Amino acid sequence: MSKRSKLFLVLGVVLFGVLVSLPNIFDRDPAIQVSRTDGIDVEATTISQIRTALDGEQIAFLSAELDEAAALIRFPDTAARDAAGELLREQFPNHIVAISMEPRTPGWMRWLGLEPMNLGLDLRGGVHFLYQVDLDAALENFIGVYQTDLRNDFRAADIRGVEPRIDGNSILIGINDQADMDRAFDIIRRLDPDPLVQRLNVTRTTVDGRPGYRVELTETLIRERQDFAIQQNTVTLRNRVNELGVSEPVVQRQGLDRILVQLPGVQDPGQAKRVLGATATLEFRLVDYEADPLDAQRRGRAPLGSELLFDRDGLPVVLRREVIVSGDQLVDATPTYQQGLPAVSVRLNAQGADRMLATTQQNVGRQMAVVFIEERPIVEDDVIVDTEIEEQVITAPSINGVFASDFVITGLTPFESQDLALLLRAGALATPIVIVEERTIGPSLGQDNIDKGRMAVMVGFLLVILFMGIYYRLFGVIANLALLANLVLIIALLSLVQAALTLPGIAGIVLTVGMAVDANVLIFERIREELRNGNSPIASIRAGYDKAFSTIADANITTLIAALVLFFFGTGPIKGFAITLAFGILTSMFTAIVGTRVIVDLIYGGRKQVTSLSIGGATNATV
């Protein structure tokens, strides 16, 4: 590559870095984003309604405008924003009202798609939760599904007296008639339809003195179900966070059985914990009208095929065990009012709608109960040791007509309708979770972290500049220019990929400031050595850059590998450090080797005769 090409390359990269990093010089305004729960773009009329509502309560705001699919309202301070948030949540119940800090980026920058880098929780303030997932409960639930399927399949095949029971990670099945053994084996094997990947081990055994089978989950299936539980819980938590209305949340898996949740801007973790941690779902089941609830309560058990539960007033209700529709078949649930009373409007998927249609056609006039099921973990020393399941009949109205996919649940308080709709709309957790780590970071502490981090970078930068300028003179000044360009490029990369800057990330930048001049030190010392050996200044410059390159590359590549390992195997704070360290290595390689070489060539390359170099130490080398 020619000198002119290198010059244009360096200028182009630096100018691009300056442009991309420019949004970071603007401050941020307290703001609120208002978006629709159905994902449809907010209309202009909604903006007018928001302005009217804020003016009516005399809440000061800077602007209210459409920002892509949401309404964005900026405020002069956080007090006005918080007051507006409460008002807008009340005025717009079918919208997501999320608090945020929006940068004051000029319109032309936003038009170009330029955005400032994101700030992590430790710099913005908010709440941090680390959840542990109960994987044992996930396996128990999964085995329970196999148990129910086998019971129904044996009944349908007219194999009598078979009651599968769970034993650890396996199911024991006793067969009364030896002649049914082969048919029973065929039914069991249908649970494992894929011949290429065996997920169930089926072995003959003796169960309570009868011939039978042990159906055991393989390690492959156990790992699949554990991964599925983590993935479903992560998705569910992410949906629930969206329902809470939090801007730029972080929900990600950590390790084998943990999930990290960070909610920037949230200062009261009470509601977040209540909504995020509830393992709740619904079941729709028919009331056993032939059973006497009081008699079942007195005896402490329900008739065969039924279950004794209680409503919110503590009164007994006997329900059929068969579940008509469960929570995972719900498509949508929204709070509403039915004849002036709080209710939840529910919509089912196609499978749930078919079962509901068939049930209501055959049971008009009978009662169908809505059962709310909540699973709570029992924790000892930050470890889940057991779970507690609470089942409660919310309401048991009569089926007054035939319906399928759309219907309404009544008999709720306003608070219950809001919470129930949110939990159902967000989905159910696959298994219980428990908080093993919780932190709340105030916005003032976040700003203090920003100020101290900025001060650390500036002090480190100035000390390095002072040392390089004194020790290497003109070449030190060149290295300082490259270091400044290096900082600009790091900020530009963080802004370009929208990586979150955290306190460990700032530490990575400070470390990069010190490491960035290492390459120049190696090059400059090699140039000094060449000068002491009697080489000409121009030859010394060429030899210094060429001979130091391999050493610089080896040192930076090994550090880059370490940064990549930290990123892929580390958790949140470690990842933030690894990102800035990796970016710093890449940019410092470019600025220290290519950037400084271009500047040196501009200064010394155009001279007819160079007799000395201003590099400190042996600066006078006569040609």
- pLDDT (tens digit per residue) in 5-57: 878 888 888 899 899 888 888 887 888 888 776 557 788 888 898 999 998 98
What is the reported pLDDT for 269?
A: 63
Round to whole Å and give the CA distance between 164 and 287.
25
- Same domain for 503 and 459: yes
For residue 248, the 8-state DSSP code is S
- Same domain for 585 and 448: yes
Which CATH number goes with the domain that contains 561?
1.20.1640.10
- Same domain for 201 and 65: no
Mean pLDDT of the chain: 79
Q: Where are the alpha helices (DSSP H) in 117-201?
A: 121-124, 135-156, 181-189
What is the reported pLDDT for 427?
A: 60
Q: Which of 98-102, 224-228, 492-496 has the lowest mean pLDDT?
A: 98-102
Higher-pLDDT residue of 14, 162: 14
What is the reported pLDDT for 621?
A: 42
pTM of the model: 0.57
Q: Which contiguous run of DSSP H or E holds residue 73?
A: strand 70-74
Domain-located, residue 621: no
- Same domain for 456 and 382: no
- pLDDT (tens digit per residue) in 335-350: 788 777 888 888 777 7
Domain-located, residue 542: yes
**Section 77-84 average pLDDT:** 85
Whole-number percent of the chain with pLDDT over 70: 86
SS3 label, residue 623: coil
**Section 81-96 average pLDDT:** 82
- Same domain for 143 and 100: no
Which CATH number goes with the domain that contains 52?
3.30.70.260
Which CATH number goes with the domain that contains 156?
3.30.70
Higher-pLDDT residue of 105, 244: 105
Domain-located, residue 544: yes
- pLDDT (tens digit per residue) in 101-136: 778 888 788 788 888 887 777 777 778 888 888 888
What is the reported pLDDT for 95?
A: 78
Domain that holds residue 55: 28-104
Domain-located, residue 73: yes
3-class DSSP string for 86-132: HHHHHHCCCEEEEEEEEECCCHHHHHCCCCCCEECHHHHCEEEEEEE
Q: Domain count of the chain?
A: 4
Token pair 């941020």 is at which residue? 28
- Same domain for 17 and 32: no
CB-based contacts of 527, cutoff 8 Å, min separation 6: 475, 540, 541, 543, 544, 613, 615
- Same domain for 165 and 88: no
- Same domain for 377 and 297: yes
**Hey, which residues does 310 pair with through a beta bridge?**
316
Domain-located, residue 352: yes
Token pair 């930050």 is at which residue? 382
- pLDDT (tens digit per residue) in 487-545: 889 889 888 887 777 778 888 887 887 777 888 888 888 888 888 888 888 888 888 88
* Domain limit, last residue, from 198, 220, 242: 220
Task: Return the closest-CA partner of residue 477 out of 614, 605, 609, 621.
Answer: 614
- Same domain for 487 and 391: no
CB-based contacts of 293, cutoff 8 Å, min separation 6: 308, 315, 316, 317, 318
- pLDDT (tens digit per residue) in 171-216: 888 888 888 888 888 888 877 766 566 778 888 888 888 888 888 8
Domain-located, residue 114: no
Q: In terms of DSSP bridges, do strands 500-501 and 165-167 run parallel, antiparallel, or are they unpaired?
A: unpaired
The answer, yes or no, to whether residue 619 has pLDDT greater than 60, is no
The answer, yes or no, to whether residue 622 has pLDDT greater than 50, is no
Q: Which two tokens stand for residue 605?
A: 């390359």
Round to whole Å and give the CA distance between 493 and 328.
41
Q: Which two tokens stand for residue 462?
A: 């100035």
What is the reported pLDDT for 265?
A: 65
* Domain limit, last residue, from 104, 120, 148: 104
CB-based contacts of 8, cutoff 8 Å, min separation 6: none
Round to whole Å and give the CA distance between 587 and 592.
8
- Same domain for 308 and 368: yes
Q: Which of 29-38, 363-372, 591-600 has the lowest mean pLDDT?
A: 29-38
- Same domain for 35 and 10: no
| Residue 535 dihedral angles phi and psi, to the nearest 5° | -75, 160
What is the reported pLDDT for 430?
A: 65
Domain-located, residue 619: no
The answer, yes or no, to whether residue 425 has pLDDT greater than 70, is no
What is the reported pLDDT for 623?
A: 41
- Same domain for 485 and 389: no
- pLDDT (tens digit per residue) in 274-314: 667 665 667 889 999 888 889 888 888 888 889 999 987 78
SS3 label, residue 2: coil
* Domain limit, last residue, from 195, 220, 245: 220
Round to whole Å and give the CA distance between 241 and 172.
41
Cα separation of the two ends of the chain: 27
Domain-located, residue 187: yes
